[in-house]
Amino acid sequence: MDLKTLSIATFNLYNLNLPGLPLYTDSNGWSEQEYERKIAWTASQLKLIDADVVGFQELWHGAALTAAVEAAGLAADYDVVVPDNADGKGIVCAAIVRRGLLAGESEWIADFPEDFVLKAKGDDPQTPQISVNIRGFSRPVLHFAIRPREDEPAMQMYVCHLKSKQPTRIDGEAWYEKEIYSRHAKAIGAALSTIRRTAEAAALRFILTNRMKGNNTAVVVMGDINDGQLSNTANILTEQPAYLVGDSVGGGDIALYTAQTLQEYRDTRDVYYTHVFQDFRESLDHILVSEQLYDNSRRRRWLFDGLVVNNDHLNFGDHRALGTNDHGIIRAVFKHRPIRDDLA
């Protein structure tokens, strides 16, 4: 297969599970009617975005994703990438990949790398020591490879879902005493969620750097990082590369470039948002690409050809009744256009 264009999307499924199975503290989960509406809406979006690769978050049961693909009439067109243990009891990342693109086996990375450490005495004598002992991802990261061109190495794909901003509940902890901590529960819970999300971003960056350093491997990271384009979470994942303009060329060996920023260089107005909470519009969902998919890189193979965010459904809040999800769906397109030797 030798694609001339490659389309990539990221899609938060908003707790897609089979009907009647528990969702968090909701012991009843989706009703049959709610489930049917979710499947119908999800199927309509899959047909609409028509992407070569779609990364999913918040999938509970693999059969539900298969049902959506079948309802869209796409079962013959895509491989469904779902772990064997996606039986409705927990949340996983997943993907669908256009037939003929997958290269090799998929894996779900649950544990942080063994040699990954978050511990330090500090930058100066006044800084107390810090030690973070988290050893795994809240949601295992999906990793697989695709080969959109027979004449090029496989492209490495990662689908992630990092810890949310929602404060972690502490009232069930052994150390919790209501008289002392009830007034501080929100602040402590938010801090714990932030620490966990930051650790997950750093662990994923550790994995990415080991994959990318000193080679010409094309990498795409997609998913719900639960933080914005300029957040510390995004900065850790991307390594904060410089964005070149005009005829400048460069690129970073281990850098990732946000498709949002690439689109902003083409737009006269930024209206990018993928989530609405208490009337605040945020960009939580991202597609990040290595220099092989960055326009101004000396090692460019694919040229960015635009991004769209399908987010109109966020204006109507009753997602349970409508079958919609609570995140925007992002789709980015790249054209195969390697940089000319005289420009590299």
- Determine the distance from the C-alpha atom of residue 1 to the mean position of all C-alpha atoms in its chain, rounded to a whole number: 26
The pLDDT value recorded for residue 342 is 60
Question: Could you give the CA distance from residue 314 to residue 92 in angstroms, rounded to a whole number?
Answer: 23
Query: Domain spanning 5-109+141-165+218-336: which superfamily?
Result: Endonuclease/exonuclease/phosphatase (3.60.10.10)
The pLDDT value recorded for residue 311 is 85
6 in Cβ contact with 55 (< 8 Å): no
The pLDDT value recorded for residue 116 is 97
| Alpha helix stretches (DSSP H) within the chain | 32-49, 62-71, 178-181, 185-212, 232-238, 259-264, 319-322
For 5, other C-beta atoms within 10 Å of its C-beta total 14
Q: Which helix (H) or strand (E) holds 272?
A: none
Whether 283 has a pLDDT exceeding 90, the answer reads no
Q: Which helix (H) or strand (E) holds 15?
A: strand 5-16
Whether 240 has a pLDDT exceeding 90, the answer reads yes
111-158 pLDDT, tens digit per residue, is 999 999 999 998 888 999 999 999 999 999 999 999 999 999 999 999
The pLDDT value recorded for residue 278 is 64
Arithmetic mean of pLDDT, 259-274: 83
- Environment class of 112 (CB within 10 Å of its CB; exposed 0-12, middle 13-18, buried 19+): buried
115, two tokens:
């040699």
Whether 343 has a pLDDT exceeding 70, the answer reads no
Tell me the three state secondary structure of residue 158.
strand
200-215 pLDDT, tens digit per residue, is 999 999 999 999 999 9
Arithmetic mean of pLDDT, 229-240: 95
258 in Cβ contact with 286 (< 8 Å): yes
The residues spanned by each domain of the chain are 5-109+141-165+218-336
The pLDDT value recorded for residue 272 is 80
Across the chain, mean pLDDT equals 94
329 in Cβ contact with 45 (< 8 Å): yes
The pLDDT value recorded for residue 344 is 58
Question: Could you give the CA distance from residue 294 to residue 289 in angstroms, rounded to a whole number?
Answer: 7
Whether 169 has a pLDDT exceeding 90, the answer reads yes
pTM here? Answer: 0.96
Q: Which residues contact 34 (CB under 8 A, 6 or more apart)?
A: 19, 320, 321, 323
Q: Give percent of the chain above pLDDT 90.
A: 84
Question: Could you give the CA distance from residue 271 to residue 148 in angstroms, rounded to a whole number?
Answer: 31
Q: Which residues contact 37 (CB under 8 A, 6 or more apart)?
A: 321, 322, 323
Arithmetic mean of pLDDT, 51-79: 98
261 in Cβ contact with 229 (< 8 Å): yes
For 116, other C-beta atoms within 10 Å of its C-beta total 16
The pLDDT value recorded for residue 207 is 98
The pLDDT-based confidence of 86 (bands split at 50, 70, 90) is very high
Tell me the three state secondary structure of residue 267.
coil
Whether 316 has a pLDDT exceeding 90, the answer reads no
The pLDDT value recorded for residue 265 is 87
